[in-house]
Structure 1
């Protein structure tokens, strides 16, 4: 890994920690808004770091295209996490932990995808989510398992 990649991965890990905190917010809509905002900021930071022109609407669309694919597979866990948070005590704790881990994993995976793309000379305009979706999923599932969540489909 190059020095440039090490710095970029540090940026990703910092945002993933914030995403874990966002996933722990007790208000269901607020956690989603905070998470998508953090992921948007991460892509902006990486684009700036790699000196790639940033297009906000394009970044939002690309994030949605990547996360939508994994969310559909891990949606059961996400819904379960949200529902569990409504149960006092242990349910809230389990839901909080699951949502926190999945939020961090998703943010980490997005960062890794954009690092790989920018490292190869890509821009937001030539980013192909279909081509990079498996790379996103692999990092999402690996990070989710590592951080204690279970975004991995059965």
Structure 2
């Protein structure tokens, strides 16, 4: 037989879990909104007409995104470490046979159609890369991670998977 106190405790525990679930859902919605917004900015950065300056714009958008995600999760942000981490992640995507960002940026050297084709391609690839970086950081932060214990080697496969899943959806 359960007592009134036990029933109250179970109700309170259930309410706490419900509150935690609601907080997590809200946090994930906020994170998704941040990622979505930065994907749009990354796509726009792809249209910067100067070759390789678009890559710098993409990196800046991603640094801002990870900074905002860090704040959402209550993590301290060290800008220099963050810039290095984002640059490393972009390097992972480029060296993994996903060198499209560099190729699309280089195409912009060709006047006219090269700029247009490079902008369209770089915009799509930049948005997919931003999505992948955002998803990797959300998963890391949801698991209790911080920027200090973020290990690029451990998330390489997740990063590549998120990138290819996003580019496959666009194709």
TM-score tier (shorter): 0.7 to 0.9
Q: CA deviation at 1:70?
A: 1.2
Query: 1:67-119 CA deviation, whole Å, 9 max, x = no partner?
Result: 211111211x2343223323344433322211111111111111111100111
- 2:120 is aligned to 97
* Distance across 2 between alignment mates of 1:11 and 1:57: 21
* Distance across 2 between alignment mates of 1:83 and 1:67: 16
Which among 146, 163, 169 is matched to residue 140 of structure 1? 163
- 2:98 is aligned to 74
Q: Compare relative contact order (CA 8 Å, sep 6+) and give the higher one, 1 or 2.
A: 1
- 1:120 is aligned to 143
Unaligned runs of 5+ in 2: 1-23
Helix, strand or coil: the match of 1:26? coil
In structure 2, do the counterparts of structure 1 residues 91 and 29 end up closer, same or farther at CA, with 3 Å as the change threshold? Answer: closer
- 2:69 is aligned to 46
Q: What is the Cα-based RMSD across aligned positions, in Å? A: 1.7
In the alignment, is the contact (CA less than 8 A) between 2:54 and 2:105 conserved in 1? no
Q: State which structure, 1 or 2, has the greater radius of gyration over its C-alpha atoms.
A: 2
In structure 2, do the counterparts of structure 1 residues 65 and 88 end up closer, same or farther at CA, with 3 Å as the change threshold? Answer: closer
Q: CA deviation at 1:11?
A: 0.6
- 1:87 is aligned to 110
* Distance across 1 between alignment mates of 2:71 and 2:58: 20
Unaligned runs of 5+ in 1: 149-154
